Chain A
Amino acid sequence: MTTLETQATPMTQKSTPTEMTHAVPAQAMGGLHTETTLIEVKDCNLFYGSKQALFDISMNIPAKRVTAFIGPSGCGKSTLLRCINRMNDLIEGVRIEGSMNINGINIYDRRTDVIELRKRVGMVFQKSNPFPKSIYENICYGLRIAGVNDKKVLDEVVERSLKGAALWEEVKDRLHDSALGLSGGQQQRLCIARAVAVEPEVILMDEPCSALDPIATAKVEELIHELKKQFTIVIVTHNMQQAGRCSDYTAFFYLGKLIEFDATERIFTNPKEKQTEDYITGRFG
């Protein structure tokens, strides 16, 4: 099996200028060209049956940064996100062209172990989906299915993950109560903790705050800020303020095409494309 542990392939935008990034000026603060690429999407086309949902997407997602996907509903941002851990495999009739490399390894290679991939690329869903088990068992789930049953290890991981998701103080006295008894925001952070527990490299978040109230949203955003020290985060959001607040890079999608991908600051202050500007200023979408 091909593991994804091989060394990162440092790649600058200069050496491989692509259609989407050619416009990034060298002086952009924390510009893409100086980042280490972790996920490299190349000419990705995706079809639901005969309907094409993604058109020639190429982008380099940098490591240990937060990358936000924005765009109106149905623009393909969630679809692209779900390609990164091959969740789209579950949908019948999906066909993907092009390549998607993580650490230089094509995850759509026939030899790729999807299970191993998903352990390295965690996911947090739009609707929090804790299992109908205790808080403790929710966190342990990823380890247990990997065959870890040592109580000491599990205890440690549970504490570390919950602390990492800023949930420890709230639930440490009721670890063995059902996770379904938590509030919506707590449930979502539990899902993040659950994803963190298996120590992935990438965490994909599919509109993680869309069902949360502003206070819970603020907590999750704070958490994202913390998490990026350790993980590469890709977040899909409808909320442009959120993208502005918590992401380093932002990609704007429209009708299945990647319109613009740049540092968040530039996208919001000085977008290159007219469509991007129209969208973020609220002229459509």
Chain B
Amino acid sequence: MKAELNKDPDLKALFHRGEHLIWITGAALSLSLLMITGLILLVISRGMGFFWPSPLTQVTGADGKDIAGVVMSSEKFRKQGADGKMVSGERSNIKVGNRDLYGLDFRWVEHEGLTNWCTPKDAIQIERWEYGDFIGFIKSFNQSDAPVAEGTVAWERFKKELPIALKLHRKIAEMERDEIGAINNDIRAAELKIKKIQFAEKDAVKRDSQVAQLQAQIAKDKVEFEEVRVKVAKLAESARTNSITMLSSDGREKTILMDQIVRAYQPNSMSFLQKAGHYIEKLTEFITDEPREANTEGGIWPAIFGTVMMTLILSALVAPLGVVAAFYLREYAKQGPIVRAVRIAINNLAGVPSIVFGVFGLGFFIYTIGGTLDSIFYPERLPTPTFGTGGILWASFTLALLTVPVVIVATEESIAAVPRGMREGSLALGASKFQTVCRIIFPAAVPGMLTGLILAMARGAGEVAPLMITGVVKLAPALPVDATAPFVHLERKFMHLGFHIYDVGFQSPNIEAAKPMVYTTTLLLLIVVVLLNVAAIQLRDKIRKKYQTGAFA
């Protein structure tokens, strides 16, 4: 007996007991984890390294011309050799920049015949507001077209002058945006008022006097506009006095105005700390700035803002709608074939392709509701639509509709999970059903509802297809929240991280330049979704604690 007990079970016995099935469950989980980890690692490794300054490589080509740039990737390939046989060669994709000189800023270069590989210490990479990066060497620093310093001295002089030029650039941008923007807004508002008066005012005398008044106002604004414009032009003129002359690797000269430069650095002579500083600077810019150059440069702040704001509006819409609907379904509706059918319909709704919701949102929210709002409240602006076109509000409504099944199902389950005794205890004390629902069942079900909301948020934040027809744009001129009254502009179009990934990755005119942006933006979208979820989970835990063990005053 003892011997039998101690015996290792043989394979057949293990099989019979179902051990192999347990292994399969473990393997399935491992596989899922592996895929998710792989995805996240890929995104992190590609996305995180983008801002780290890469060395500038210089090499002499077969034609004797030098090529300087950042080696992005190298690969082996098969090609036809001189004798017609297939031989293997190697080539690299080099970011050579200087789009204004070369036409293309990325080049595939075959290694065969290349000589003189080196990383010159004085090679400079310049980021510009337009035309992408310039890669080359500094020749001179100029004031009013006359060189005042050359070589290393010019580089030192340039580094001193750059912050001043940037400050000026920022000031001009601010004046253009704020002062000119405000006057423009005034003029537009006055013009709208005139239209409105002509539209609504029946008394001709009154109408003419009011219109004349407004026109005088517009004239005054226009004068002011002209004044500011002249001031800006003067500033811009002064910003253009200094420039640098650069030499490209193939020996061409290019003069770049200080006004056009974002930053410049010599990656080959930077210390680790300097590189880290550069990295942090670029990362900050990426998170807090607006995009430039068809979204391939600059930051993605408007997209982050749009994503978060849309998700918050969506949550604010979907939570009450889903919760109230679930309470009716679970607590008040007479359980029977109709309610069962409704429940099945809700579950199926979660499986409808999201683009269908987008089309519905376009047809119902934008054209029907938005169009009606326009014709009632903003007739003077027509045919330019206000709410009758895609915007952050309608996109949020559409996504709320898309995610409401998740909230309903989760809420229903959490209501059903409230112990029967709790409900009976309340009723036995003389509470009405409504009081019981409000005071006992609702609080107890809140954590479950928040779980549903978290799922809805995660789904909503990651959804792109329906947004493309309900208000997302490649580049929004203004955020949905700004300093002009009424401060929150829900009718505005907005940018979204998910759409940004699609746009930068697949619609960009400069695919190579955009590729790293795709990973970085994906990483950021993941971070935003995780942060939103963590916030909601924190809230849920807090509430759960409050209703389960915490103190009540």
Contacts and interface: CB of A to CB of B under 8 A. Distances in A.
Interface stretch (B187-195, B253-261, B432-440): B432-440
A185 to B, nearest CB: 17
A132 B443 contact: yes
Interface stretch (B149-157, B207-215, B420-428, B488-496): B420-428
Interface in A115-157: 115-116, 118-119, 122-123, 125, 127, 129-134, 136-137, 141-142, 144-146
A236 interface: no
Given A131-B422, A131-B440, A178 B549 contact: yes
Nearest to A118: B430
B549 A115 contact: no
A176 interface: yes
B552 A145 contact: no
B429 A194 contact: yes
A195 interface: yes
A180 interface: yes
B5 interface: no
A133 B430 contact: no
A80 interface: no
A115 B432 contact: yes
B430 A125 contact: no
Contacts of B430: 115-116, 118-119, 142, 145-146, 198
Contacts of A122: 428-429
Nearest to A181: B549
Contacts of B432: 115, 145
Main secondary structure of the interface of B (DSSP, over half): helix
B444 interface: yes
B425 A118 contact: no
A212 B551 CA distance: 26
A133 B548 CA distance: 7
A198 B426 CA distance: 12
Interface residues of B, number: 25
Given A136-B552, A146-B430, A129 B547 contact: no
Interface string A187-215: 00001001100100000000000000000
B425 A129 contact: yes
A85 interface: yes
B419 interface: yes
Contact of A134 (B426, B428, B551): B551
Interface residues of A, number: 34
B13 interface: no
A178 B548 contact: yes
Interface string A73-94: 0000000000001010010100
A273 interface: no
B548 A180 contact: yes
B478 interface: no
A90 B424 contact: yes
Given A129-B422, A131-B422, A132-B444, A118 B428 contact: yes
Contacts of A85: 428
Contact of B552 (A116, A137, A142, A195): A137
B552 A133 contact: yes
Nearest to A122: B428
A43 interface: no
B86 interface: no
Contacts of B440: 131
Interface string B240-269: 000000000000000000000000000000
B486 interface: no
A178 B553 CA distance: 11
Contacts of A115: 430-432
B547 to A, nearest CB: 5
Interface in B335-360: 335
Given A115-B432, A145-B439, A180-B548, A131 B426 contact: yes
A90 B422 CA distance: 13
B81 interface: no
Interface string B534-552: 0000000000000111111
A177 to B, nearest CB: 6
Contact of B424 (A125, A134, A142, A198): A125
A187 to B, nearest CB: 11
Contacts of B419: 129
Contact of A118 (B427, B443, B550): B427
B435 to A, nearest CB: 5
A21 B464 CA distance: 77
Interface in B495-553: 547-553
A92 B429 CA distance: 21
Contacts of A125: 421, 424-425, 428
A87 B424 contact: yes
A173 to B, nearest CB: 13
Contacts of A90: 424, 427
Given A116-B430, A145-B429, A180 B549 contact: yes
A38 B513 CA distance: 89
B421 A87 contact: no
A134 B552 contact: yes
15 contacts: A115-B430, A116-B430, A122-B428, A122-B429, A127-B421, A129-B422, A129-B425, A131-B425, A131-B440, A141-B429, A141-B439, A176-B553, A180-B548, A181-B549, A194-B429
Closest 6 CB pairs of A and B: A129-B421, A119-B430, A134-B552, A123-B428, A142-B429, A129-B425
Given A127-B421, A131-B426, A180-B548, 15 more contacts: A85-B428, A116-B430, A118-B427, A119-B430, A122-B429, A129-B424, A129-B425, A134-B553, A136-B552, A141-B439, A145-B429, A145-B432, A145-B435, A178-B552, A195-B428
